[in-house]
Amino acid sequence: MLFVNGNEIATANQDRLLVLPGGEAAASSHVMYSISRTIVSGKAKRALVLVAYPQEFKSWSAGTFDGVGVYNVFTNTRRLNSIVTFFDGLWCYRSYPDLLFDFL
């Protein structure tokens, strides 16, 4: 397993960017900057700036991004059918409790 430290940052217009590697300043910052200022700040620190939720992102022309998030567990979880999920959970839990959310 590879862990990459990063921070999701909400911009002033509520778009979300993922900055890798993350830092204490990004995690504790409650000030929301524009997308262009966030990108410039990330590039100055030699960080990667990725679009975190592309299906909800509104500011594609605001700057040059290093990448786009392709799969997000949170987005996938919001689309689950609760009845199917319940029965899948019962089936998975007995055999694979550690992998329960991978099967859903």
* One domain, residues 78 and 59: no
The one-character DSSP state at 13 is T
pLDDT at residue 28, as a whole number: 56
pLDDT in tens, the chain (104 residues): 677 778 888 888 888 888 888 766 665 555 677 888 888 888 888 888 888 888 888 888 777 888 888 877 777 777 778 888 788 778 777 777 776 665 44
Output the CA–CA distances (angstroms, integers) from residue 66 to 18, 23, 69, 79, 89, in the order listed.
Answer: 10, 18, 10, 27, 36
Tokens of residue 18, six digits = 């993922």
Per the structure, the complete domain to which residue 100 belongs is given by: 71-104
Find where tokens 């409650």 sit. 30
* One domain, residues 17 and 59: yes
pLDDT at residue 95, as a whole number: 76
- 3-state helix, strand, coil split of the chain in percent (to 5) is 45, 15, 40
pTM above 0.85, yes or no: no
